[in-house]
Amino acid sequence: MTDLAESPAVRRLADWDPADLQSLVGEYGSPLYVLDLERVRQNYRRLEAAFPDAEILYAVKANALGDVLTTLREAGAGLECASAGEVKRALDAGASGDEVHYTAVNPPARDLDWLVDAWRDHPDLTVTAGSEDTIDRLADRGYNGRLCLRVNPGIGAGHHEKVRTGAAAKFGVPAERAVEVLANAADRGFDVVGIHAHVGSGVSSDQLDAHREFVARMGDLARDVSEALGGSGLEFVDVGGGFGVPYREDEEPLELGSVADATREALGELDARLTIEPGRYFVADAGVLLTAVNTVKAARETTVVGVDAGMTTLLRPAMYDAYHPIRNVTVDAAAANGDDGSERERLPQTVAGPICESGDVFCSDRELPKSERGDVLAIGNAGAYGYEMANQYNSRPRPASVVVDGNAVWVSRQREDVEDVIRPERAASDGLKTTPPRGE
C-alpha cells in the first residue's frame, strides 16, 4: 500500500508502464479496460484526509464494477446508487443497509417495487426522493423508512452543460418548497433524515465560487428544515460530489484542502453531518482503455488512425466532446526497452473507431508518434463513465475489463461476443414460439 504522501494528486497517462499495458492486450485482447485498485484506494484516502469529519459515499454510476465497490466499501465508503440495479450491486458487494443511499431520478415502478422489497430486509437503507410524486409512490408501496429529499438549489456547475444538474428542472424539488414537502412527509410517518443536492459533474477549481454558493444555500435550508421540524434537525446534509479531475495534460488537479475548507465554511454551523458523494474522483485516473490500431489511412487533410474501440466502447468524446489523453504504448514500450528503431515521426492524427458515425472519433489532428497497424494505443482517464456508458450499437459486443492490484491481475468482466449480443432476441423468439397466441 502506497503512503498517501507518496501518492500524486493525479495519475497521468504517462505514469502507466507501457510494457505492462501492451502485455495486457497480448494476454486479454483488445479493446480492454484496465483498472488499478490501489489507485482507487489512494484517491479515497486523499479525499478522506481532506474531509475527515464527513460521511463519504461513492457514486456507483461512475463505475459499478464489483471489485471497485468492494474496494471502496472496505476502505470505508458508503455507496450512493442511482437505480435498483446499483442497489443490488451494492448489497452483493457486502454493503449493509446503512451503507446504501438510493438516489433515483423519476424511478420506474419496477425499481421502486424491488427497492421497497429490499428495504424490508435492510431497514437502515436511505431513500432520496426528488419529487412529491416519488414520496407518494413510496407511501403507496408501504415505505415509511429513512427519507432524504433531493432539492434543486438553482445553481449548476460542471464540465459540460449536460451534467450541470443543480439548476436543471429535472432534478429535485425547488429549494423554496423543501421545508413544506419535508414537513408533510414527517407528518405522514416518514423518518426524515436529510437533504441532498448535486451541483454537477466534473467541477473544476475555477468553479469553486459556484460550489461555495451552492453549499451555503444547503446550509441555510438545513437550518430552516430543522426549525420547521420542531428542532429535531437532520442527520445529514448531502452536497453531492462532482469533484473534477484534470483530463488534459496541462490542467492542475483540484486542491482538495481548499475545496474542503470552502465547503465547511459555506455550510456553517449545523448539528447535521456533512455528506459527500464523489464518483469520478475515485476512479477516473485509475483506469485506461487499451485499443489496437487496425487501419492507417492518409486522408485529404489528416491521417486517420482506425482502432478497434469506438463510441460504443467509450462514449464520452462523442457525447460531451470530452478530451482524453492518448498514448502509443507500443512506441513507448520499445523506447523504454532501448530499441533504437522506436523513434517515429510525430504528426497530427485523427483516432477513429469502427462505428458508422462521423462522431466516432477519440481525437482530431492530435500530434502523436506515427501509428502503424498493430500498435496499441492507451486512452487515459477512462475509469469513470467508460464501461458504464458502453453499449451494443451496430451489434458490437462490449469489451472485457481487467483489474490490477499490486502484482495480481484478473478478469473482472468477461468480453462479450456476438452471441451475447443476440441471445436476448433469440430467447424472446423462442418464447413466442412456445407461448399460445392471444385469445386462446
81 has catalytic annotation = no
Is 357 annotated as a binding-site member? yes
Is 280 annotated as a binding-site member? yes
Is 158 annotated as a binding-site member? no
Is 279 annotated as a binding-site member? yes
For residue 9, give the C-alpha cell.
494528486
Is 33 annotated as a binding-site member? no
DSSP collapsed to 3 states, the chain: CCCHHHCCCCCCHHHCCHHHHHHHHHHHCCCEEEEEHHHHHHHHHHHHHHCCCCEEEEEHHHCCCHHHHHHHHHHCCEEEECCHHHHHHHHHCCCCHHHEEEECCCCCHHHHHHHHHHHHHCCCCEEEECCHHHHHHHHHCCCCCEEEEEEECCCCCCCCHHHCCCCCCCCCEEHHHHHHHHHHHHHCCCEEEEEECCCCCCECHHHHHHHHHHHHHHHHHHHHHHHHCCCCCCCEEECCCCECCCCCCCCCCCCHHHHHHHHHHHHCCCCCEEEECCCHHHHHHHEEEEEEEEEEEECCCCEEEEECCCCCCCCHHHHHCCCCCEEEHHHHHHHHCCCHHHCCCEEEEEEECCCCCCCCEEEEEEEEECCCCCCEEEECCCCCCCHHHCCCHHHCCCCEEEEEECCEEEEEECCCCHHHHHHHHHHHHHHHHHCCCCCC
Question: Residue 246, Cβ neighbours under 10 Å: how many?
Answer: 19
Is 385 annotated as a binding-site member? yes
* Catalytic pick among 81, 148, 356, 363: 356
Q: Which residues are catalytic?
A: 356
Q: Which amino acids are annotated as binding site for substrate, given as ranges? A: 280, 316, 320, 357, 385
Q: Which amino acids are annotated as binding site, given as ranges? A: 242, 277-280, 316, 320, 357, 385
Q: Which amino acids are annotated as binding site for pyridoxal 5'-phosphate, given as ranges? A: 242, 277-280, 385
